[in-house]
Amino acid sequence: PPGPGRDSSGATDPIESRIPITAIKDNAMGTSEKGDYATVKAYVNFVKHTDTDPWYTSCTNAGCNKKVIEAGSNWMCEKCNKSNEDCNYRYILNMSIMD
């Protein structure tokens, strides 16, 4: 049966499961080694501009998102100690939001 944050099929409804931004800090979200995810409705009120690209090149091996170093025509991951022909681009965006 539907309950709080669930639709008629019992699936999680992203709109109903939104949390206020204060709940992120109150619940210590983002403090564990593995990331936390939350759905919020907010406004962007500041985007930090930097002189660097808003991404980094990362390892393509499953479960590894560590930064890789260009080594000739390949990409070297120091964590996996492997060299790959390709890399992934992971984006980093530093901004301030308000609800």
Amino acid type, 19 = I
Q: What is the mean pLDDT of residues 46-74?
A: 92
Rounded Cα distance, 56 and 88, in Å? 8
pLDDT at 1 over 60: no
Using a cut of 0.85, tell me whether the model's pTM lies above it. no
pLDDT tens string 22-34: 988 898 988 888 8
pLDDT tens string 45-55: 999 988 988 89
pLDDT for 3 = 42
Rounded Cα distance, 13 and 52, in Å? 37
